[in-house]
Amino acid sequence: MPELPEVEVTRLSFADRIQGAKIQNVALGKPLRWPLGCNTEQLRGLRVKCVTRRGKYLLIELSPSILILHLGMSGSLRFEGTKSPVTQKLHDHFVMQTDLGTLTLNDPRRFGAVVYADDFNSPMLHKLLGKLGVEPLTDSFSPELLYRALKGRHLSIKQALLGGQIVVGVGNIYASEALFLAKIRPTRSSSTITKVQSLRLFEAIRSVLTRAIEVGGSTLQNFSNAMGESGYFQLESYVYARAGEPCKTCNTKIKQVVQAQRSTFYCPMCQS
């Protein structure tokens, strides 16, 4: 599943190119996770003000409404200029043609979605975004906030990070990596975290996510940004998907366990 870095990398790859565009036509494929919530004719003539992000959701702000976009498990966006022919390919389930180019959501598994909202007070917008935690790369995120939130939860620290109620976007890959850098075992109860460890984890989360965005995210299977470019963070991974391989710090073999049906990777020597 695309995580925060992949979603942000995708946003950066087309946001400037589509800003100010006038929507000419919208075509739908097979149903996605949630219905669009409006007639495609309503979108014709609207202009794209900007493209922002909240957690793993992209917000295409129109004048005067909003399209909320989620990539799901296997979705990816494609942005093609006006010189490219507008053709709806296999697994293209949302195709938005504008006077500056065409934005397409391709999603083989159809767990992604594009949802219409009238404005930022829309019940649908609140339903999808209202309970999300703070953004990890903003000033709203702090070591103190992280410490207090973790101490109040009695579950594994990795699961606390993945939940999204404390901080958004620290998905499976980046939680494993951040916990390694912070020297915290992912199976440890979040309620046992110390202030020193919380500070290390705070710094590790920011460092890992920032670096992942810099190198284009992680391409483990078929992720690419809206211009078709792959990411390279997986080549720098300390623990993720490295079970049985030597730790880059101490040479101990990396272990793999399953937590809530997701693979977790850690070094039994470096992380306690």
Q: How confident is the model at residue 116 (pLDDT cuts 50, 70, 90)?
A: very high
Q: What is the mean pLDDT of residues 80-109?
A: 91
Find out whether 201 and 142 touch, Cβ atoms under 8 Å: no
For residues 12 and 75, is the Cβ–Cβ distance under 8 A? no
- Per-residue pLDDT reduced to its tens digit, 216-244: 998 776 788 888 888 889 899 999 999 99
pLDDT at res. 223 = 81
The tens digit of pLDDT for each residue in 187-205 reads: 999 999 999 999 999 999 9
Q: Categorize the per-residue pLDDT at 84 as very low, low, confident or very high, splitting at 50, 70 and 90.
A: confident
Q: What are the backbone dihedrals phi and psi of residue 247, each rounded to the nearest 5 degrees, phi first?
A: -60, 140
Band of residue 148 on the pLDDT scale cut at 50, 70, 90: very high
Under the phi-then-psi rule, with left for phi > 0, alpha for psi from -120 to 50, and beta for the rest, what region is 82?
Answer: alpha
Burial class (CB in 10 A: 0-12, 13-18, 19+), 203: middle
pLDDT given at position 89? 86
> Which range, of 86-95, 165-174, 175-184, averages the lowest pLDDT?
86-95
Distance CA(182)–CA(177), nearest Å, equals 9
Is the model's pLDDT at 150 over the cut of 90?
A: yes
- Is residue 111 within 8 Å of 31, Cβ to Cβ? no
Q: How far apart are CA 34 and CA 100, in angstroms?
A: 27
For this structure, is 262 an active site residue? yes
**pLDDT class of 258 with cuts at 50, 70, 90:** very high
Look at residues 220, 221, 218 and name the one whose alpha carbon lies nearest to residue 232.
218
Decide if pLDDT at 1 tops 90.
Answer: no
Which among 2, 5, 136, 186 is annotated as catalytic? 2
pLDDT tens digits, residue range 3-32? 999 999 999 999 999 999 999 999 999 999
* Active-site residue, from 53, 56, 110, 242: 56
pTM above 0.75, yes or no: yes
Q: Establish whether 2 is a catalytic residue.
A: yes
Domains of the chain by range and CATH?
Answer: 4-129 (3.20.190.10), 143-266 (1.10.8.50)
The pLDDT > 90 percentage for the chain reads 85
Instruction: Please say if the pLDDT value at position 83 is more than 90.
Output: no
Residue 2: pLDDT band (50, 70, 90) is confident
- What is residue 80's predicted lDDT score, i.e. its pLDDT? 94
Q: How far apart are CA 212 and CA 129, in angstroms?
A: 23
What's the CA gap between 136 and 148, in Å, rounded? Answer: 15
Residue 41 is among the residues annotated as catalytic for this protein = no
CA distance 218 to 237: 10
Mean pLDDT, the chain, whole residue set:
94
Burial of 49: CB neighbours in 10 Å, binned 0-12, 13-18, 19+? middle
Tell which residue, 203, 199, 153, has the closest CA to residue 178. 203
In angstroms, the CA 133 to CA 17 distance is: 29
CA separation for the pair 40, 19 (Å, rounded)? 20
CA nearest to 75, candidates 7, 5, 163, 171: 7
Q: Tell me what percent of the chain is helix, strand and coil, each rounded to the nearest 5.
A: 30, 25, 45
**DSSP string spanning 66-92?**
EEEEE-TTT-EEEEE-TTS-----TTE
pLDDT interval class at 100 (50, 70, 90) = very high
Averaged pLDDT, 115-128: 94
Please identify which of the residues 3, 6, 80, 177 carries the catalytic annotation.
3
pLDDT at 30: 94
